[in-house]
Chain A
Amino acid sequence: MKLGERNVMLLFLVLSAGATLLSLGFQHREARLFPLIVGAVTTVLIVGYFVIVNVPALRQRLAPFIEDDIFMKIAAAADALPEEEAEEASEVAHRQYGGDGERGARERILFAYLGGFVFLGWLVGLTVATPVFLFAAMVGYARADWRQAAIVTIATAAFIHLVFVMILRLPPHLGLLGGLL
């Protein structure tokens, strides 16, 4: 099992086990029954998955439970191929840009951008955060030409204003600071 897959499964395990334990505190039987059963079954499934994947004898015996069947292999292969090729191409491109070429590093940087966008949106509102993020993500992360990025940012902000503010009558989101003013 890959590290990333294990982390996702561990997150699910914490979620399902936590949900099961918390459900014991619900007052009404009707409110408790489904969270308890679904939480417990999901927890057992995740623990079982970990055990089966890591014990070779069980892995062979219970293969249909944990392995993709032939249809799914076809689908997975068809899905995976372009991404694998693209991954390889992007590694080369990234090295040319002088980056470290590691997918994990790119993920962390991108998530930092997304986190910054959400924080900025909460603080000053989406109306301001959106063009700032758009320009920063294009120039800083995706390394687009800044002039092209500036034009795209202005055009997108105008499009969002037209559709959401003028047509759908959505009031501009001003965030925490905007609300205080």
Chain B
Amino acid sequence: MEIFNTMMEGLGEFLTWPLPLWFALGMLNGMIFGLLPGLSGSVGIALMIPLTFGLSTAEAMTLFVGAFGGQTFSGSITAILLNTPGTAPNAASTLDGYPLARQGKGGFAIGISATASAMGAIIGLAVLVALLPFVRAIILSFSFPELTMLAVLGLAAIAAASSGSLAKGLISGGIGLILSFVGFSPVAGELRYVFGVPQLWEGIDLIAALIGLFAISEVIRLLVVRETVSAVPLDTGFSRKEVWEGVRFVFRHPWLLLRSALIGTGIGAVPGVGGTVASFLAYFQAVHTSKDPEKFGKGDPRGVLAPEAANDAKDSGSALPSLAFGLPGSSDWAIILGALVLHGVNPGPNLIREEPVVVWVAIWVLFFASFVDSLIGIYATPLLVKVTRVPPSVLAPIVGVLAVIGAYALQRQFVDVIFAVLFGILGYYMRRHHIPVVPLILGLLLGATVERSFFQSLEVFDAGIWVYFTRPISLVLVVLTVVIFVAPFVSTHRRQKALVETGVDG
């Protein structure tokens, strides 16, 4: 009953002015950045951080999650019509979406994509809402040892699951932790790694790092690579009837929709894995479970339905670790959680403990965003794709200066501009060499929490490091952390053994 009350309180808050305004602005931002090939929705979210200064936590959450929810479907519009995915997870939709568009069925594919996205998000949200009470009960029993181990587990999981190898992920996380030690020690109060620079006493500004790693690095990449959008004429002259045929197609394939959405939710709930894996796995699942797999890749509508449902469901899935445990389920959530520090929300499971209404506001935003995004997509696709005609030579410098001004605006310190640019260059090279940036951000975000809660555990429980092994939840978290490191070796060993045995048998 308490959950239901909080849920309704969240709805009431979401519908209270000016939250609908922030929702609309966030959606607009998400849709535009989702549409722009070469610039991900993360850039749009990072650029909005300075604008949230002075907003309440609920308002900021609405703006960020609105942008997060708005980007997913709009990225598929360009994937289907231009063969250029707006964001990486939309890449799977090009496989059958673009052939459909070339066959003159672009409207049909957009109808499928819009409906599968909305329905996928709703299925994912249903799973999230069903799991939330159990997760909340666990979180309420957390103390310092669990907080420490949760942060360690999160770092390990994201390092292992982020794109790139386990080693690169761990190194990136380690560097993030080292950077988090700059400034006053949270326990001893001693200054560390400041080299006589007073601006470093408070540590490296997380927001400057976020803006640099996510916005400036992408601007650099766009300007260096000079990514171009296909100049082919767009076929957007499709009829509403065609689009509604696509809508009906989704409801004629409920099991494929459900399977794909559950894959998306499951993958999204694993911190760091991300939507690209979810959409491609759903696509492969659709191919493998089909009676006529040879049709895929040539314009099979099921090849649009499966990845689109999974892609939006993964947003709901990724909200679970992010909102419940403070462990970002994706790079977008890493930015959102980092930005919430500005609003006094400490990273970790404090959000659901201290601000449950804000968590429900975020869930309602995701719910409404899935509908609004798809409806706008159905009715305004021809208008929306015009955004992609802005040349990168004009777009990238504008985004770059907005990012720099944003980094300066928060603390009015020029050193933040320098940090944002340096992190931008670092992020550019890290991405280029497949070194994941999310573990670095997470290390920077969680460093102080791990350090503080570790020493608090020792002080409060007076049992040395054994406290981590004598408390059940803490022990489970320790075991899970070990499993993350050992599992890849065990599975490779088994695979090699199986190969040897097959070779011997054969």
**Contacts from A to B (Cβ < 8 Å):** 2, 4-5, 7-9, 12, 15-16, 19, 22-23, 26-31, 34-35, 38-39, 41-42, 45-46, 48-49, 52, 63-69, 71-72, 74-76, 78-79, 81-83, 86-87, 89-90, 93-94, 103, 106-107, 110-111, 114, 117-118, 121-122, 126, 130, 133-134, 137-138, 141-144, 148-149, 152, 156, 160, 163-164, 168, 170-171, 173, 175
- Other-chain residue from A2, A42, A82 in contact with B174 (beta carbon distance below 8 A): A42
**Residues 178-200 (chain B) with a chain A CB within 8 angstroms:** 178, 181, 185, 187-188, 190, 192-193
- A160–B174 contact, CB under 8 A? no
Q: Which residues of B contact A23 (CB under 8 A)?
A: 192
Report A-chain residues with C-beta under 8 Å of the C-beta of B430.
8
What are 5 residue pairs bridging A and B, where the CB atoms are less than 8 Å apart in the complex?
A28-B187, A48-B167, A106-B223, A107-B220, A173-B414
**Complex Cα spacing A48 to B166, Å:** 12
Q: In whole angstroms, what is the CA distance A34 to B448 when docked?
A: 10
Q: Which of B345-353, B367-375, B387-395 contacts A (4 or more CB under 8 A)?
A: B387-395
Please, which residue of chain A has its CB at the minimum distance from the CB of B393? Answer: A142
Residues of B within 8 A of A69 (CB): 488
* Complex: chain B residue closest to A139, CB-CB: B393
Query: Which of A12, A81, A171 has the most C-beta atoms of chain B within 10 angstroms of its own C-beta?
Result: A12
For chain B, the count of residues having a C-beta within 8 Å of the partner chain is 84
Across the interface, do B165 and A26 meet the contact criterion of CB distance under 8 Å?
no
Chain A residue nearest in CB terms to B172: A12
Decide: A142 near B392, CB < 8 A? Known: A30-B185, A66-B167, A110-B224. Answer: yes
Contact A93 B174, CB 8 Å, known A34-B451, A173-B408:
no
Contact with A along B387-408 (1 / 0, CB 8 A): 0000111101110111011001
* Residues A31 and B192 in contact, CB atoms below 8 Å apart: yes
Residues on B with beta carbons closer than 8 Å to the beta carbon of A163: 51
B421 touches A138 (CB 8 A): no
B397 touches A78 (CB 8 A): no
Within 8 Å CB of A52, what residues of B? 167
B171 close to A46 (CB less than 8 A): yes
**In the complex, residue of chain B having the shortest beta-carbon distance to the beta carbon of A53:** B167
Is residue B277 contacting chain A, with contact meaning CB distance below 8 A?
A: yes
CA distance A49 to B172 in the complex (A): 12
Q: Give 11 A-B pairs besides A74-B277, A89-B227, A130-B405 with Cβ atoms closer than 8 angstroms.
A: A16-B174, A19-B193, A28-B190, A66-B168, A72-B163, A74-B280, A82-B91, A122-B414, A142-B392, A144-B391, A168-B54
Cβ A64 vs Cβ B224 within 8 A: no
Which of A30, A111, A143 counts the most B-chain CB atoms under 10 A from its CB? A30
Q: Which residues of B contact A117 (CB under 8 A)?
A: 404, 421
| Centre residue among B50, B171, B391, B434 by max chain A CB count within 10 A | B171
B277 touches A149 (CB 8 A): no
Tell whether A78 pairs with B280 under 8 Å between CB atoms, given A63-B492, A118-B417. Answer: yes
* Chain B residues whose C-beta falls within 8 Å of the C-beta of A16 in the assembled complex: 174-175, 178
- The distance in angstroms between the C-alpha atoms of A75 and B280, with both chains bound, is 8
